[in-house]
Amino acid sequence: MTVTATTTETTASEATAETQVEPGKGMRFVNWGANYIEDRTSLSGFVKELGRKIFPDHWSFMLGEVALYSFVVILLSGTFLTFFFQASMTHVVYDGSYAPLKGVGMSAAMASTLDISFDVRGGLLMRQVHHWAALLFVASVGLHMLRVFFTGAFRKPRELNWVVGFVLFVLAMGEGFTGYSLPDDLLSGNGLRIIDGMVKGIPIIGTWISYLLFGGEFPGEAIVGRLYTLHILLLPALVVAAIGVHLILMIVNKHTQFAGPGRTQGNVVGVPIMPVFAAKAGGFFFIVFGVIMLVASLVTINPIWNYGPYDPSPISAGTQPDWYIGFADGMLRLIPPHLETELWGFTITWYILIPIAVLGLFIVLVAIYPFVEAWITGDKREHHIADRPRNAPTRTAIGAAGVTFYAVMWAAASSDLIATHFRLSVEGVTHFLQAALILGPIIAYLVAKRVCLALQKKDREIALHGFESGRIVRLPGGEYIEVHERLSDYDRWRLVSYEDYAPLMVRPNAKGRITTGTKIRGVLSRWFFEDRIAPVTRSEIEAAHHDH
Amino acid sequence: MAQADGAETGTAVERHEHAPRAAGVAVVSDDRVQNPGFPPYRPRVSDIDPVKERQNERRVFWLFLASMIGSVFAVVAYIVFPIHEGDMDSVRLNNLFLGLGFALGLLGIGFGAVHWSKSLMDGHDLVEQRHETRGKPETVARASEIFTLGNKESGFTRRKLIRNGLLGALVLAPLSAIVIFRDFAPAEDPVKLLKHTLWEKGTRLARDPNGIPIKASDVTIGSVFHVIPENLHESDHPLEEKAKAAVLLMRLDPADLHVSEERKDWNFRGIVAYSKICTHVGCPVALYEQQTHHLLCPCHQSQFDITREAEVIFGPAKRPLPQLPITVDEEGYLVAQSDFHEPVGPSFWERSL
Amino acid sequence: MATFAHRNRRSGRRSPLTSAALLLIGLLATGGAYAAFTATSSADAASQTQVTKLTEEGEKLFAANCASCHGLQAEGTEDAPTLIGVGAASVDFQVGTGRMPMAASGPQAEQKPVQFTEEQIAALATWVASLGPGPAIPDERYLQGDGDLAVGAELFRINCAMCHNVAGAGGALTQGKFAPGVVGVSAKHVYEAMITGPQNMPVFNDANISPEDKSAIITYLQYLETSTSPGGLELGSLGPVSEGLFIWIFALGGIVAITVWLTAKSN
């Protein structure tokens, strides 16, 4: 009890001093309620810890929230859909209200999805909200990961939270794919058929895994029910758990902030949860929900009525997965022909194993990157100031290469549409993308690194000599110069306060030996930090000022 | 918790409660530029001008009002735009207006709340001190002491036999759970099933989806027929059988066909039947170009040349599409000579065993 | 995209029905007048004369516009196939959609503004049809869009969707060729395409898809053309690719713009 009183006092003293008046009836009820809960939960400690926690303000810090909120929207709309959807592959003859499918045989899953769309008021809206929110969920998770990567916000103490976030990304793709497959329409059925083909290509166990997964031969009558269990039970539980861990770790570590005057590794500058951040973040939830709702009311997504029920014989031109599985589909398309061997009668399908290996390696590299960078720098300190991407040129270049690699695979998944829309041949597009998959990342790496270094040089120039003011002055000697306007200390601080690293000096250890690990670290740290623009120092600024 | 305005300028100093940690290859210089501290607070118009403040207050209210209107509109739209069975325009209107009402209801709250927080709530930045994530030394010491005590009191590391016994039991326990997954699929051997389709000697080729058998004379040059076995609909598992037995039937000028010796009589006067299931990952390969005689898979763009026994000419697939040997029966209907001579569809480990 | 452009182009011309009606009226009028003047001659003879006249005109038109590639007697050359036995339907489709005469050699003959009047096309078709038996111009009763919608939709998915896309939006073929969008194409041309198999499209003869079934497919295409998607904008009916681009560019792009406003310091 006493604790509550203290909190109230603190809050009252922080707010503008208002004269104490006799509380009204409503206020008395709120007080009674607060006390009732407090007596039974000791919630005040929680409020005291978190109520005035500080969140730094930057647009890029809101991307994770977009993901969180779209997930909430997914839960809400998905719950509505479960009341109508039948996850069954029992054969029925459709007799609903969509004329072009009347009398057509299909699974109960497909028929109930059509009923949701055409016979339930708001049913189509909820389906479109659910699907659009799912696309937005994975997209915002991806963009959030890029933000964290390029600002180095994955560094100690946040490496583990990066891994948790990575797990969330994988779970989100799993959620998406299982959901995409549920209506049992032609598009999703052919998607499952591709999964079946890939699973069968796994050596030794593939045939059996496929057989168990589909409950017999493809397509069977089990897969929709099984995916449904994953989609609404197992995967959401894991996502919720991972989001919980992700947020707890975020609170424990506190949010990173960008460099700015007064901001240090030792503080967080921003707005308190109560009331400013709560209002902003709470309002933002409604905005994200509203944007999804707006899109869902205006734009069709996944018109299953066009695709019709799954049947193993037909297929539509332009059969693609949802965007987040595109990179995997693209990789399948990019593999050169004829990669299959037979060894002692066993068939080894390289055209499946190589894409799986490439994709696996790619996402494992994403997951472990923080540990690799930490090992190379050997920096054991905590980092709470987010890097500007230009101030970590090699990391930014690696990121650009990774993004390019992903983007090429992604583009390959729509090679046929690229071909028809730009009047090219599918073969030409494929060959181009095959080359781009190798060369693209290299070019992106080199360009991004040079751009970063150039920007750093420009920053250095501005920090030392100020902005070009556009004012030309004639010196007594007849020489014309442009006057540079010096920066304020506050503005300069943003340009000069970044971590600087030098390549590792490879030295023998206590036993007088240079271990292989040290050698590799030496090579890697040279790769990382050989090209470096050191931050401006105090003496340099003083020297620059004396020049003028 | 202090307000980060001019009063604190220059006072922010890094605090190390714990022993400093190794900086690795970071360059720690004494000559670093000093943090200038917090800049002075820049007041907002609503801080200075009471008129503007009231204006903002009104604006926030209008946004909330808009939200209320939106929500009421959604309820109204639910009633005045009902779905008439079979009328897709009514579905569209229901979707559109219900959604717009919802969207306005949500966006009004959202923009109102954010505008409130931005323009009317306290605009000062606040500062909170960070502490190293690692706990205080005494906390860490106590935690490790608890583990030591736990170990001592239970004898976990001392009593090696029972500890290893426990570990062994824990490892084995889930194993028993794995075996119950066997009944995820029926008892048959999938490998045998995959190597057999509905086609057998004498099965008539029939049209997909109506199952009407096809006469050789129906198939003119340049034609393509989507084919199922005539008895497909009598099968217990029509979808599973169709997923293996779907066939594409084409008629080419016999002069265009390059037929190998052992497949000499697999076609009937230029009528050829190939499995429709891609040997890559199983999409239906059905895009037949009647002039180039190429078959294209729309999923991953594998291309097969029908004139050369469906060999792969582009794309990720390796094996040609399996050919179904066909002939005609006495009534002139096209029939299969046998099942496929190899498994159809995507490769699998035991495929050629 | 292609469908869109196509609709535009079509709207600039008279409706094919109008032209057909005009032609019919013209034929009836001449025929009627002829019959009135020569009371003894039969209607057969009248139309026979009409056909002969058309054939002669068609031959002239062919010699002037088509013979350089297809040969004077339509026997075919190195550049172009023979047209003996392709039938009137083929000519009506190729010339009536502007694909012929071809402007330049490319991966395939593409749709262009039509070069001839309805009468000239009819003349050309009549002449080519006279060279050898081939598919005739379809009977009006299959073009009414009154077939079985559900049957048409299923046949479309099985026989057409793999190239033309389930929503009729078109798709890619090999070596730069493509299957055009089919929504908004006139019923007559759709029917003619099925029976003649223009360019790389296979032939769907009446034994494969019966005239009633073709009529059902046309019914479904007209349904696609006249019905708007219940869900709202269709994004070109291109499936997940356009949906993915939309969510990244418009939805996420819009939300990022909002976050910038949200976190900017207020004035």
Whether C254 maps to a domain, the answer reads: no
More confident call, B156 vs A468: B156
Within 10 angstroms of residue C121's Cβ, the number of other Cβ atoms is 23
- A98 domain residue, yes or no: no
Joined together, the tokens standing for residue C52 give: 């002969």
- Say whether domain B194-336 belongs to CATH 2.102.10.10: yes
Asked if C174 and C200 count as a contact pair (C-beta separation under 8 A), the reply is no
State whether A168 and A236 are in the same domain.
yes
Report yes or no: A287 and A68 within 8 Å, Cβ to Cβ. Answer: no
pLDDT score at C3: 41
Whether the per-residue pLDDT at B124 is higher than 80: the answer is yes
Question: Is the same domain home to A68 and A42?
Answer: no
Q: Which of B280, B313, B314 to probe by mutation at the A interface, max A CB count within 10 Å? A: B280
Asked whether residue C100 is domain-assigned, the answer is: yes
What are the φ/ψ torsions at residue B268 (nearest 5 degrees)?
A: -120, 105
Kindly compute the dihedral angle of the four CA atoms of residues C97, C99, C103, C109, in this order, to the nearest 10 degrees. Answer: 150
Distance from CA of B163 to the nearest CA of A (A): 30
Residues 26-65, chain C: which have Cβ within 8 Å of A? none
Cα B242 to Cα A419, C226, C262, distances in angstroms = 31, 34, 55
Q: Tell me which chain A residues have a C-beta less than 8 angstroms from the C-beta of C221.
A: none
Reported ipTM: 0.92
Domain that holds residue C63: 1-135
Do A32 and A66 have their domain in common?
no
What is the distance in angstroms between the Cα of C78 and the nearest Cα belonging to chain B?
Answer: 15
Per the domain annotation, does C87 fall within a domain? yes
Nearest to B236 by CA among A453, A212, A221: A221
On whether residue C172 sits in a domain, the answer given is no
Tell me the per-residue pLDDT of C226-263, one tens digit each, with 9 for 90 and over.
988 999 999 988 999 999 999 999 999 999 999 999 99
Q: Give B-chain residues touching A98 at CB under 8 angstroms.
A: 86, 88
Total of domains in chain C:
1
pLDDT at position C46 is 64
A97-101, B27-31, B103-107: lowest mean pLDDT where? Answer: B27-31
In a domain, A89, yes or no: no
Residue A302 falls within a domain, yes or no?
yes
Q: Domain limits at A337? A: 55-84+111-258+272-387
Angle at A200 (CA atoms; ends A198, A203), nearest 5 degrees: 105
Query: Residue A229 domain-assigned?
Result: yes
Tokens 């120039």, located at residue: A461
Q: What are the structure tokens assigned to B64, written together? A: 């909330």
DSSP symbol at B333 = B
Taking CA atoms, what residue in C is nearest to B100? C232
**In a shared domain, residues A118 and A156:** yes
**Residue A103 DSSP label:** T
Regions in chain A scoring below 50 on pLDDT: 1-18
Cβ within 8 Å of residue A15, ≥6 positions away: none
Statement to judge: residues A220 and A248 lie in one domain = yes
Residue A469: its pLDDT value, please? 80
List B residues 277-306 in contact with A (Cβ-Cβ < 8 A).
Answer: 277-278, 280-284, 286-287, 296, 298-302
**Which positions ≥6 away from A59 have C-beta within 8 Å?**
C256, C259, C260, C262, C263, C264
Q: Per the CB < 8 Å rule, is C200 touching B91? A: no
DSSP codes of every residue in A353-406: HHHHHHHHHHHHHHHHHHHHHHHHH---S---EEPPGGGSHHHHHHHHHHHHHH
pLDDT in tens, A270-324: 999 989 999 999 999 999 999 999 999 999 999 999 999 999 999 999 899 999 9
Q: Give pLDDT tens digits for B142-154.
A: 999 999 999 999 9
Contacts of C235 in chain A (CB under 8 A): 299-300
Q: What is the DSSP string of C221-262?
A: HHHHHHPPPTTSB-GGG-THHHHHHHIIIIIIHHHHHHHHHH
Task: Tell me which chain C residues have a C-beta less than 8 angstroms from the C-beta of B223.
Answer: 197, 202-205, 208
Give chain A positions within 8 Å (CB) of C248. 139, 323
- Same domain, yes or no, for A62 and A17? no
Domain membership flag for residue C205:
no
* C8-61 tens-digit pLDDT: 444 444 455 555 555 555 555 555 544 444 444 455 666 778 778 888 899 999
pLDDT at A420: 92
Instruction: Considering only the beta carbons, identify the residue of B15, B110, B350 that sits closest to A287.
Output: B110
Amino acid identity of residue A385, one-letter, is I
Residue A417 included in any domain: no
Q: How many domains does chain A have?
A: 3
Beta-carbon contacts of residue B349 (< 8 Å; ≥ 6 apart): A200, A202, A203, A204, A205, A206, A207, A346, A347, A348
The chain C residue lying nearest A425, using CA atoms, is C176
Do A9 and A75 sit in the same domain of this protein? no
Position C109 scores a pLDDT of: 87
CA-nearest residue of chain A to C150? A100
Helical axes A393-412 vs A426-465, angle rounded to 10°: 160
CA distance C156 to C217: 6
B26 to chain A, closest Cα gap in Å: 4
| The two structure tokens encoding residue A496 | 């000069």
- Quick check: C202 and B224 CB within 8 A? yes
Distance to chain B for A493, nearest Cα, Å: 7
Identify which of B46, B96, B209 has the shortest CB distance to residue C154: B209
Between CA B289 and CA B310 the distance in angstroms is 13
Residue A193 to residue B281, Cβ atoms within 8 A: yes
Would you say residue C207 lies in a domain?
no
Show which subunits contact B, needing at least 3 CB pairs below 8 angstroms.
Answer: A, C
CA dist C73 to A247, C70, C95, Å? 80, 8, 18
**Contact at CB, C161 and A62, closer than 8 angstroms:** no
Would C177 be classed as within a structural domain? no
- Is residue A395 domain-resident? no
- Give the whole-angstrom CA distance, residue B278 versus residue B280: 5
Find out whether the peptide bond into B209 is cis, omega within 30 degrees of 0: yes
C-beta atoms of C267 and B44 within 8 A? yes
**B22 part of contact set with chain A, CB < 8 Å:** yes
Q: Give phi and psi for B289, each to the nearest 5.
A: -100, 115
Whether C165 is in a domain gets the answer: no
What is the dihedral angle through the alpha carbons of C216, C219, C220, C221, rounded to the nearest 10 degrees? Answer: 120
Q: Is A248 a domain residue?
A: yes
- Report A:392-451 residues touching C (Cβ under 8 A): 413-414, 416-417, 419-421, 423-428
CATH code at position C120: 1.10.760
User: Which residues of chain A are within 8 Å of residue C153 when distances are taken between CB atoms?
Assistant: 100-101, 104, 308
How far is Cα C144 from Cα C147, in angstroms, rounded to an integer? 8
Find the Cα–Cα–Cα–Cα dihedral B220, B222, B227, B229, rounded to 10°.
40
DSSP secondary structure string for all residues of B219-286: --TTBEEEEEETTGGGSSSHHHHHHHH-EEEEE--GGG----GGGTTSSBTTEEEEE-B-SSS--B--
Cα–Cα distance between B3 and A269 in angstroms, integer?
A: 9
Backbone angles phi, psi at A417, to 5 degrees: -70, -35
In CATH, what number is assigned to the domain containing residue A142?
A: 1.20.810.10
Contact C208 B298 (CB under 8 A): no
